[in-house]
Structure 1
């Protein structure tokens, strides 16, 4: 008998109706739980709207569709299959894992997936909350939200007839999900006053944006930002509208109403064309971006965690040592880059001293080739230096912040990836079986993998539970603060180090965000 018909399956009574879940791996799981109305038809490119209830008992034992996105059978050569059918517009649902749907008041972890603003899913097996729920006695929630053109297009007040003045529909989805969690998590054994929001890459940018959103105030207490690309330029409406115009042209539509008449596969096909029109050599491709619309997002997300609204939020922020290799190291066009090409790219950021900056990077990495210098530059610009600047600024204001660097290099793919973007994820989630399809884990010593995974998984649990990531199997991890700038370096041997990004921090000498 299936879980939906099993009279012993867990049932939760919510104001909207009853949910029937399942028991998996010793924890209770509820899937495809709706937190907002389906953003279809006239609700496309509108802020998230409340979801009406349902009659009877809703089956919550199977995953819902992921947000529409590009899909290649077999996935990419680094992550393997990343996202799988079905996809659908009706994607505003969440999955939830709990030791028991009781009144225990456990700490809550909400996961926001990344994916370059165009891919990913909270329903991926990779992001199962089972291990966190079981090992940490936590309630874990993973959300789906609109991505790509459905989440990130911006039309503006005059951009197209029938459009909202606001943009960032992805952000309205996330606020709605957080509100749902805050209002309902007690039914699942969670404490609404002890919610931690965690995310990686684009998901970590989301968390920074949520920290400054007026409707998200008080909805979470702690934040974990894994590899946030805070160095991205976040466009103003005037800067974004030409991109929207290019997308309309590629989609063959005159305005937002024309786009609403298209199927989501047609919208995704047009998005692929926008990749080609917006990609620049030596820059991470981002056809879709958040927009500083002045309604949902007033300032760069890197700044939001510095303001009073976020003063009491405990923050953990970190990066991988070789972030950029994820996007470039397997591309032969970059592997054969020349010194002149890289110096020319550096000149875009350092117009008056490109050769000097090249030399500084070359000196920091023994035997550095031009592509190595480029990878370090991109990693610094997008990830490492902005993360350190965030930690510096919060520490200077006396606000809690912990910093880490993931330094463990994978031997997979001839070692070309090193400690690449996303590599920390399986170690954090503590369940390597759900990542067994990922090529970038190939060849890692099982004993080293288990030890590093334990160290990271338990640190995340400790932070969610207490706001302090220290646990007995870690070296002492102090809060980030000058002059020591203590950062925990996760590697085969994990250690607390002082100012590991100091050379880059001084080289870029940016003002605090």
Structure 2
């Protein structure tokens, strides 16, 4: 039965026990709700276990600790920080926002209906698999709950060494993070009706690493029936994910850095020592011209049977509604402010291109990128290459393959550049987030938003926010305040461009798609690179 708020809209009764939340700006909020046992002690590096519940009324008015992670005092120069204390291993909780008014107006003649369960949006935060929190103010579900009449859930889950190390292959392997997220989705299925949500109308959305997680969940056998739609914001589908042997090698390197000879010794270390060792693994695994990823999902043939991008093409996931998008200059987030990459030479970038396309094709590929951006410096070519490799081209290939199978997706590119930091970031990774959530007041700490014209900023935020709401509610992102947005079909390749002027364009990513498809083949064959460049 749907929860119809009454005299105490901040109180709900669940099978696990009673919760008391709070009313914030007209929205009922329930914070730090446990969905699994704390993964501490012997449960560290074990699959998530069901929570037994509690007696009495549990206070749900304050955020719980976020997953342990590296923390930079004062924040970083782009986001201003992506996780803040307190941190603790006892972090497997979620937050729920639900409208504090009935779904339909009430009058003496028309009392509140015991019906109309609301669509549900589940948010999975990103953060390179090492940072972030579902409790961050910028990921508050308040705007979606209020503006879209939705029930919104944000999830905390294990990240970094606690989520991705492979210590007990027979007991969860390397993908402990995935057991957390599956447990959270099962919790939503079993409990969301108490908050007025419809368990049969769940959309799972995530950005960056959270989008990779969302794709992995969509194709997981245990998630069958737990979601109807997914929104994939900047999924790094171009990452080369390790197999179990690769996971073991990285785990062995981490053990050495942490000074532990056995799993038992590692289990005995306090979590701050585990997080401290993460810095050493960053240093060990970082390569020039590549996004640093010391921890990654592992294709183990069980929890993650195939690359998450493949999971959206097979089985039950093939019938899930999909929205996917990227920002025009994703890689600027990680590289534009780094002196070692900003000063890249043509020779360095050509060598980096050769890693992907082969040495014979590399000069022609460099020239194609240079032509596509008049006045491009070598650093610009490098960042466009990384954007294409990690984000744009793999996303477009997914759209192409789903279109071929008759299951099109809704595709977009976020193009609005930020003037912050001398304009060096462009339309960087993460920049679309405050527009999607339409909550710039929660992003006041983020340097990358400085200088955006309020009228342009707010107008685009309204367009995107309402499109996301429409997709969650209906599977179609169209609404009256935007141009017609058609699915990505093989003959039209419609892609919505979100910029100061919003427009639906055909084959917006065509140059990148053709370059990587044609030049990639040419590089593999060791011939024909010039023809690939000529297609630009």
Same fold (TM over 0.5): yes
1:18 maps to which residue?
Answer: 18
Alignment of 1:91-490 (within 5 A): 91-100=91-100, 104-155=116-167, 157=169, 164=171, 166-351=173-358, 352-490=360-498
42 and 156 in structure 1: CA distance in 2 versus 1, 3 angstrom threshold: closer
Once residues 414 and 436 of structure 1 are traced to their aligned partners in structure 2, the CA distance between those partners, rounded to angstroms, is: 18
How big is the shift at 1:227? Answer: 0.1
42 and 430 in structure 1: CA distance in 2 versus 1, 3 angstrom threshold: same
- In structure 2, the gaps of 5 or more residues are 1-6, 103-113, 522-536
- In structure 1, the gaps of 5 or more residues are 1-6, 158-162
Q: Partner of 2:161: helix, strand, or coil? A: helix
Once residues 267 and 90 of structure 1 are traced to their aligned partners in structure 2, the CA distance between those partners, rounded to angstroms, is: 15
Runs of 4+ in 1 over 6 A off after TM superposition: none
Once residues 458 and 101 of structure 1 are traced to their aligned partners in structure 2, the CA distance between those partners, rounded to angstroms, is: 20
2:514 maps to which residue?
Answer: 506
Once residues 479 and 229 of structure 2 are traced to their aligned partners in structure 1, the CA distance between those partners, rounded to angstroms, is: 17
Aligned length: 500
CA contact (8 A) 1:95 1:122 kept: yes
Once residues 264 and 220 of structure 2 are traced to their aligned partners in structure 1, the CA distance between those partners, rounded to angstroms, is: 28
Once residues 452 and 151 of structure 1 are traced to their aligned partners in structure 2, the CA distance between those partners, rounded to angstroms, is: 36
Once residues 276 and 392 of structure 1 are traced to their aligned partners in structure 2, the CA distance between those partners, rounded to angstroms, is: 37
How big is the shift at 1:155? Answer: 2.8
Once residues 198 and 255 of structure 1 are traced to their aligned partners in structure 2, the CA distance between those partners, rounded to angstroms, is: 38
Once residues 105 and 70 of structure 1 are traced to their aligned partners in structure 2, the CA distance between those partners, rounded to angstroms, is: 39
Once residues 436 and 124 of structure 1 are traced to their aligned partners in structure 2, the CA distance between those partners, rounded to angstroms, is: 13
Once residues 371 and 326 of structure 1 are traced to their aligned partners in structure 2, the CA distance between those partners, rounded to angstroms, is: 13
Once residues 337 and 234 of structure 1 are traced to their aligned partners in structure 2, the CA distance between those partners, rounded to angstroms, is: 27
Q: Partner of 2:252: helix, strand, or coil? A: helix
Once residues 60 and 42 of structure 2 are traced to their aligned partners in structure 1, the CA distance between those partners, rounded to angstroms, is: 27
2:37 maps to which residue?
Answer: 37
How big is the shift at 1:165? Answer: 5.5
Once residues 101 and 235 of structure 1 are traced to their aligned partners in structure 2, the CA distance between those partners, rounded to angstroms, is: 48
CA contact (8 A) 1:27 1:100 kept: yes
CA contact (8 A) 1:9 1:20 kept: no
Once residues 173 and 348 of structure 2 are traced to their aligned partners in structure 1, the CA distance between those partners, rounded to angstroms, is: 40
CA contact (8 A) 2:71 2:83 kept: yes
Once residues 92 and 286 of structure 1 are traced to their aligned partners in structure 2, the CA distance between those partners, rounded to angstroms, is: 23
What is the TM-score when the length of structure 1 is the normalising length? 0.96
Q: Deviations over 1:375-432 (max 9, x none)?
A: 0000000000000001111111111310000000000000000000000000000111
Once residues 347 and 53 of structure 2 are traced to their aligned partners in structure 1, the CA distance between those partners, rounded to angstroms, is: 61
Once residues 122 and 310 of structure 1 are traced to their aligned partners in structure 2, the CA distance between those partners, rounded to angstroms, is: 24
CA RMSD of aligned residues (A): 1.2
How big is the shift at 1:311? Answer: 2.2
2:89 maps to which residue?
Answer: 89
Q: Partner of 2:53: helix, strand, or coil? A: coil
Q: Deviations over 1:421-468 (max 9, x none)?
A: 000000000111001111000000000011000000000000000000
Q: Deviations over 1:217-252 (max 9, x none)?
A: 100000000000000001111122111100000111
Greater mean alpha carbon deviation, residues 406-415 or residues 147-156: 147-156
Once residues 8 and 300 of structure 1 are traced to their aligned partners in structure 2, the CA distance between those partners, rounded to angstroms, is: 46
1:4 maps to which residue?
Answer: none
Q: Deviations over 1:319-339 (max 9, x none)?
A: 000000000100111111110
396 and 28 in structure 1: CA distance in 2 versus 1, 3 angstrom threshold: same
253 and 203 in structure 1: CA distance in 2 versus 1, 3 angstrom threshold: same
Greater mean alpha carbon deviation, residues 78-87 or residues 460-469: 78-87
Greater mean alpha carbon deviation, residues 249-258 or residues 47-56: 249-258
Q: Partner of 2:319: helix, strand, or coil? A: coil
How big is the shift at 1:8? Answer: 4.9
